[in-house]
Structure 1
Amino acid sequence: MSDVFWVWLASALCMAGGWWLQVRTRNAGIVDVIWSATMSASALYYATIGPGGLMARFLVATLGGFWGFRLAMHLLVRVLNEHEDGRYRYLREHWRGHQGKFFLFFQFQALLTAMFSLPFMAAAQNPAMRITPLMMIAIVVWLISIGGEALSDRQLAEFRAEPANRGRTCRAGLWRYSRHPNYFFEWLHWFTYVLLAWGAGLFWLAWIGPVLMLISLRWVTGIPFVEAQALRSRPDDYREYQRNTSIFFPWFPAKSKPQQRRQA
């Protein structure tokens, strides 16, 4: 487990730098960029030092590395071109700008990097030297999840770019079937490493990815913060969206019930 320690230490140092940058720019969104980048780096690290077969380690480096890199670049564009995310503005107001709390928040993300890197470590111990049927399924899951997340990100960006949509909730494309399709595909992505780790001695560690990500997105740092901010910024429209649209798993939207006229 000393390898996990080095991943945590490197992430903690990166997050300390990110915290300092946040002090200068007053934009805490950089924490998400750094988290994604350190996750990508951890996949490459475990693929390099892992004792598993060449094919397993190659897939960890390629799939895990690219996933984190794509996400980091997508978030970096938003951080550089948009104001601070409403979730972090709320924390800044709630904490009254207390930088000690922001520093601990950044360091908590470093701890999450170490925990979420464990599926990479497990998959990099798979002894398979050649591609297996489960590895092929893992690649399919990865392609679907990365494609779905990229598509939902693009649909949301295009919706936000239209001035006429200011103050409205995106219901375009995948956002018609889930209030958080990007989060759903992010969660789905972690099953890639469950499949890649099949046959490894530490296979059970791979389940930390989808389990921890579901808990985090659904009940801790993801959906609760996003929906609270949406209700603050566009309460009526978002409540209607909540009534008609699945919160996480994509499903057909409910039909809006016409309001009944009051009897005179």
Structure 2
Amino acid sequence: MAIFLGGFASIALSLAVLMAFAWVVQQRSGNSGWVDTIWTFAVGLVGAVSALWPLAGDGSNIRQWLVAGLVAIWSLRLGTHIAIRTLGITDDPRYAAFAAEWGLNAPRRMFIFLQNQALGSVPLVFSIFVAAHVPAPALRGQDVLGAAILLIAIAGEALADAQLRRFRHDPANKGKVCATGLWRWSRHPNYFFEWFGWLAYPVIGLAAGYPWGWASLLAPVFMYWILVHVTGIPPLEAQMLRSRGEHYRAYQSQTSMFFPLPPREGMAA
């Protein structure tokens, strides 16, 4: 137990330090988009290191390398996408709205906000840690299934991002709402696939005789809560209502918020 509790504490400290660095970058650059970039690379880095961390002096096994590779692929794909997007903006509108609301206290409130984000990320990385350290020497079918889930999620999220990027780059779509491809089935398909990918860790981590494996369920539970109720959908939808108005209200009435579902009757092609 001490090894796992020590791992939990090390993960928490590492994320707190890296998100403090994100705050410094945000304050000096004035572009809050770097916050999400650094968060993604931070979770990927700490997750990969924790997956490979040896327990009781043992070397890293094939499952640890598999989990570390999966989280690294996720982090590099998403982090690079966010970094490229950040280079093309002056500030992230979600964080800019928070800063406007906080006024003169914005720097201090942003630091606290990012430390809370680090704290909320601990269960995600700890899920990676416990999944990687399942006490079984060889790969099992569920390890392969978990890897397939994460790779499908990465591909789905990349497709959603590409569809939105093409829509926005077409001058004819200025002021419109993207409701084509995956965006016809969900208002936030990128967020859905992001959440879906975290199901990989309980698939890998749940094993008979391994009570710590239940902690891997924290990943999809916390990611759903973060995306649907905290820093994902609520501020983004508020910003879209400000910028798109009735167009976005119509989109809301016809399209599932999170889980991909057939569009309700009257949805335009």
Paired with 2:160 and 2:54, the residues of 1 have a C-alpha distance of 33
Report the 3-state secondary structure (helix = DSSP H, G, I; strand = E; otherwise coil) of the residue aligned with 2:103: coil
Structure 1, unaligned stretches of length 5 or more?
259-264
Instruction: Please tell me whether the aligned partners of residues 126 and 216 of structure 2 are also in contact (alpha carbons under 8 angstroms).
Output: yes
Structure 2 residue 264 is the aligned partner of structure 1 residue 254: yes
Question: How big is each residue's C-alpha offset from its partner over 1:194-217, in whole Å with a ceiling of 9 and x where there is no partner?
Answer: 111122441111000111111121
Structure 2 residue 185 is the aligned partner of structure 1 residue 185: no
Structure 2 residue 168 is the aligned partner of structure 1 residue 160: yes
Paired with 1:154 and 1:76, the residues of 2 have a C-alpha distance of 15
Corresponding residue to 1:228 among 238, 253, 263: 238
Report what 1:79 is aligned to.
86
Structure 2 residue 47 is the aligned partner of structure 1 residue 37: no
Report what 2:99 is aligned to.
92
Instruction: Please tell me whether the aligned partners of residues 63 and 142 of structure 1 are also in contact (alpha carbons under 8 angstroms).
Output: yes
Q: Which amino acid aligns with 2:242?
A: R
Paired with 1:101 and 1:162, the residues of 2 have a C-alpha distance of 37
Instruction: Please tell me whether the aligned partners of residues 34 and 83 of structure 2 are also in contact (alpha carbons under 8 angstroms).
Output: yes
Runs of 4+ in 1 over 6 A off after TM superposition: none
Report the 3-state secondary structure (helix = DSSP H, G, I; strand = E; otherwise coil) of the residue aligned with 1:252: coil
Report what 1:10 is aligned to.
14
Structure 2 residue 24 is the aligned partner of structure 1 residue 20: yes
State the shift of 1:7 in Å: 2.2
Paired with 1:257 and 1:182, the residues of 2 have a C-alpha distance of 20
Report what 1:120 is aligned to.
128
Q: 1:46 to 1:239 in 2, by over 3 A?
A: same
Structure 2, unaligned stretches of length 5 or more?
none
State the shift of 1:257 in Å: 8.4
Q: Which amino acid aligns with 1:62?
A: G
Instruction: Please tell me whether the aligned partners of residues 119 and 209 of structure 1 are also in contact (alpha carbons under 8 angstroms).
Output: yes
Instruction: Please tell me whether the aligned partners of residues 125 and 202 of structure 1 are also in contact (alpha carbons under 8 angstroms).
Output: no
Instruction: Please tell me whether the aligned partners of residues 50 and 124 of structure 1 are also in contact (alpha carbons under 8 angstroms).
Output: no
RMSD: 1.8
Query: Under a length normalisation based on structure 2, what TM-score does the superposition of the two structures give?
Result: 0.90
Q: Which amino acid aligns with 2:219?
A: G
Report what 1:172 is aligned to.
180
Query: Under a length normalisation based on structure 1, what TM-score does the superposition of the two structures give?
Result: 0.92
Corresponding residue to 1:141 among 149, 168, 180: 149
Count residues with an aligned counterpart. Answer: 258
State the shift of 1:244 in Å: 0.8
